[in-house]
Structure formats: C-alpha cells, structure tokens
C-alpha cells in the first residue's frame, strides 16, 4: 500500500487561495464609488440579463466579480436573509454589516472545507446612509475576510491597478457624472499603461441614491440617461474651447 502524499495545511490553504484568486482575476473588473448623493456601481458587462449588481434590501446593494453561478447563489441567500430578518424584526435591523457577516461565514466555511473547492468570487456589499458619513462599503474576498472600504473599491480583473488609479483621483462630494466618468476611465486602463474605449452599451451601472423619496434606494441607469451622464460636461468644455479660438503665435 502506497503512502499518501503529504501536504502541509499551510500549503493546502495557499494553493486554495491561489486557485480562487486566479479564477476571480479572469473576470471583468467592477468598481464601487461614493459620490455626493449616494454610491454608484460601475462595471463592464455586455450581457443585459446576467447582472453583476443587484438590490438586496431597501438601502443595500450587492456587487460581485467571478463565477456567475456561485455569486448568484450568494445573492439569493442574501435576499432571503434580509427578507426574513426584516419581516421577523424590523426593516431597520437589516444592515450591510449584518449581511457582510453572513457572507463572511459562508465564504469562510467553504474556503476552509477540504471537501469542496473554494468559491471563485469577490463580493462588495454597500449601504447608503442618510448622509455621506453614514455610507458603508464592505469588500469580501474569497476566504471570507471582511474589509471596510471608504471612497472607492475595485474587484476582479486588474483590481489592484484600478484601485491605485481611483485612490489618486477619487474625491469626496463628486457628482454622479464625475464619479461615473472616473469609474469608466479606471476600468478602461490596461496593465501596459494604455487606455481602451468602453462604449456605454457595454456598461452596467446602478446607484444607491439617498435622495430618492422611496424606501428602496437602488436604481439601474441605462440607455439615454447613462449616455447623458457620460457626456455631461464634455459638450460644455468643447464649446468653451471653440469660443476661445486658436491661440495666436
């Protein structure tokens, strides 16, 4: 009888983490940014049916990068948790922090289990507050850890490069148009330093808008509204340059 091949627990966990990271990096990146009136979710997604961003509850949004079937299972579980907690107790008891803890336990259990492969997903759970200071953004990597983010966060694909770009340029109090254009600029950057064009038709955009009178603050931005937000300010700048005329030598 042959002796089983021994792998140390540390090496086994490192291999599982590397497997999950490679799977997540194969997907397209997405970003989540705070702006003056809420939180905006932006990602490149040519599919009109398979969404990266979804509403979980009144003020809570969900974003995910990685394997669709795996993060869709997690999204559905989050919706069920939120509905049950809100019905059993109070709608105000459903929070992004509580939901992030539930996701962290699920991902951590799966990652530590030797009987199944780790999930190839990275999640973002965001909650819009009454004021910008009350906004909450949590990033959950494949191993179930929780990272409390502020301002902006990127996951999937070239997340490290995009995060660095956003950290240098994101500012508090940005308008939705400014935040959206910054997100698109960050997503369009390549690892070699070049920049590609991402048409509006390939973008998936959603917001948690604190100014909406409804209890449900989640809203998708598509079509003409998205095109207008991306073009806002560009026309004014072009007209201003034209009015100044060519520089005299």
Confidence at 192, pLDDT banded by 50, 70, 90: confident
What domain range includes position 162? 23-238
Per residue, the 3-state secondary structure of the chain, as one string, reads CCCCCCCCHHHHHHHHHHHHHHHHHCCCCEEEEEECCEEEEEEECCCCCCCCEEEEECCEEEEEEECHHHHHHHHHHHHHHHHHHHHHCCHHHCCHHHHHHHHHHHHHHHHHCCCCCCCCEEEEEEECCCCHHHCEEEEECCCCCCEEECCEEEECCCHHHHHHHHHHHCCCCCCHHHHHHHHHHHHCECCCCCECCCCHHHEEEEEEECCCCCCCCEEEECHHHHHHHHHCCHHHHHHHHHHHCCCCC
**Nearest Cα to Cα of residue 52 among 19, 29, 26, 33:** 29
Is 84 a domain residue? yes
For the stretch 112-161, pLDDT in tens is 987 789 999 999 999 999 999 999 999 999 999 999 999 999 999 889 99
Is 216 a domain residue? yes
The pLDDT of 62-86, averaged and rounded, is: 96
Is 94 a domain residue? yes
For the stretch 197-245, pLDDT in tens is 999 999 999 999 999 999 999 999 999 999 999 998 654 343 444 444 4
Is 104 a domain residue? yes
Is 15 a domain residue? no
Is 46 a domain residue? yes
Determine the pLDDT at residue 234.
Answer: 56
CA angle 35, 77, 19 (to 5 degrees): 80
Is 131 a domain residue? yes
The pLDDT of 28-42, averaged and rounded, is: 96
Q: Is residue 165 pLDDT above 80, yes or no?
A: yes
**Nearest Cα to Cα of residue 57 among 221, 218, 219:** 218
**Number of structural domains, the chain?**
1
Q: Is residue 171 pLDDT above 70, yes or no?
A: yes
Element (H, E) at 147: strand 147-149
| CATH number of 53's domain | 3.60.20.10
In the chain, pLDDT over 90 holds for what percent of residues? 76
What pTM, to 2 d.p., does this model score?
Answer: 0.89
Is 197 a domain residue? yes
């Amino acid at each position: 009888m042959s002796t089983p091949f021994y792998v140390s627990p540390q090496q086994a966990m490192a291999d599982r983490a590397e497997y999950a990271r490679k799977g997540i990096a194969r997907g397209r990146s997405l970003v989540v940014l705070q702006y003056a009136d809420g939180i905006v979710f932006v990602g490149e997604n040519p599919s009109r049916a398979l969404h990266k961003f979804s509403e979980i509850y009144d003020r809570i949004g969900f974003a995910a990068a990685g394997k669709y079937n795996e993060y869709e299972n997690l999204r559905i579980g989050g919706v069920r948790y939120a509905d049950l907690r809100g019905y059993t107790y109070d709608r105000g008891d459903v929070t992004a922090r509580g939901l992030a803890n539930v996701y962290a336990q699920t991902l951590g259990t799966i990652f530590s289990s030797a009987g199944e492969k780790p999930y190839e997903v990275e999640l973002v759970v965001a909650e819009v507050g009454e004021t910008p200071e009350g906004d909450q953004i949590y990033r959950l990597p494949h191993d179930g850890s929780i990272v409390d983010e502020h301002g902006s966060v990127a996951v999937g694909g070239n997340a490290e490069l995009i995060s660095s770009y956003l950290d240098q340029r994101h500012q508090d109090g940005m308008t939705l148009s400014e935040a959206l254009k910054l997100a698109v600029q960050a997503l369009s950057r390549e690892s070699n330093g070049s920049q590609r064009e991402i048409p509006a038709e390939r973008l998936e955009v959603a917001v948690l808008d604190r100014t909406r009178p409804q209890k449900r603050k989640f809203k998708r931005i598509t079509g003409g509204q998205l095109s207008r937000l991306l073009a806002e300010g560009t026309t004014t700048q072009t007209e201003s340059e034209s009015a100044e005329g060519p520089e005299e030598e």
